[in-house]
Amino acid sequence: MVNKDLIDYIMVQISKDRDIIEIRDSLKKIGWKENIIDESIKYAVHYHENGRPSSVFQRFSQVMTNPYQFFKEIKPEKSIRKPISFLVTFSLITCIVIILRWFFLNLNQKTEFGISVLLLAPLAILVLIFFLLIYTFVFTSLTHLFSKLFGNEYTFKYTFKIIVYSLAPLFIAFMSFNSSIFSYVSIPLWVWSLLLAGAGMSETHNLSFFEGITSIFLAYMLFLGVLSVISFVSSGHINGIISYLF
């Protein structure tokens, strides 16, 4: 019989790079039966490589309702396949919801234009998902850099998992974009996303909640600062070109 607590323990030990033989021997010494140890190690190794068998929708629910337990359970996972699947799936759903809502709200106005937009939607969705992936990797890099200042010793992929799953509330906010409720829900959902990320940093990187939140906040400030500079420089070049031409 497989023991869930034993699997969790083995996964944590594997994530600390302990040798399987060493783990098995230590469990034998404290009284675990050999068949239970072997079966639990088999499951733990599989989960460590591939993640626990849960859908993206289950993960969405778990991170929204019980973030500390969720990040504790996914911490030993080695692969980032599931976070990427989560990111792409909910980016796709969000884009589809926005486009369909826009189309049906404008169904009686400029029908031909609306149909053209709907036909171009797949390309728009691919472009948006591409830029969201770029944003996620860049923002994760900045957050990981600042977390090192507080003693984070884990690798990039752990921070990547935290940032991806903490986007869950923002997908809800984006779905309501350009609607009457957007102005009311956007800020609370952004704060919720920030708190989820702080919980993830605390549970996964063994930082305090304050250190985790600070790392993310500094990453936000730097990211927005760089975007502001790029926007300012680009605006100056565009104005210069316009003045030259006209």
d(CA 244, CA 246) in angstroms, rounded, equals 6
Please indicate, yes or no, whether residues 13 and 132 belong to a single structural domain of this protein.
Answer: no
Residue 59 lies in a domain: no
User: Range of 34's domain?
Assistant: 4-50
Say how many domains are in the chain: 2
What is the H or E stretch that residue 83 is in?
A: helix 81-105
DSSP 8-state assignment for residue 180: T
Please indicate, yes or no, whether residues 208 and 115 belong to a single structural domain of this protein.
Answer: yes
pTM of the model: 0.72
Residue 224 lies in a domain: yes
Model pLDDT for residues 156-166, shown as the tens digit of each residue: 988 999 999 99
Instruction: pLDDT band for 14, please (50, 70, 90 cuts).
Output: confident
Please give the C-alpha separations between residue 62 and each of 12, 20, 96, in angstroms, as whole numbers: 20, 30, 23
Q: What is the mean pLDDT of residues 183-206?
A: 89
Please indicate, yes or no, whether residues 86 and 38 belong to a single structural domain of this protein.
Answer: no
Rounded (10°) angle between helices 156-166 and 182-205: 150
Please indicate, yes or no, whether residues 30 and 108 belong to a single structural domain of this protein.
Answer: no
Please indicate, yes or no, whether residues 20 and 115 belong to a single structural domain of this protein.
Answer: no
| pLDDT given at position 12 | 75
Residue 175 lies in a domain: yes
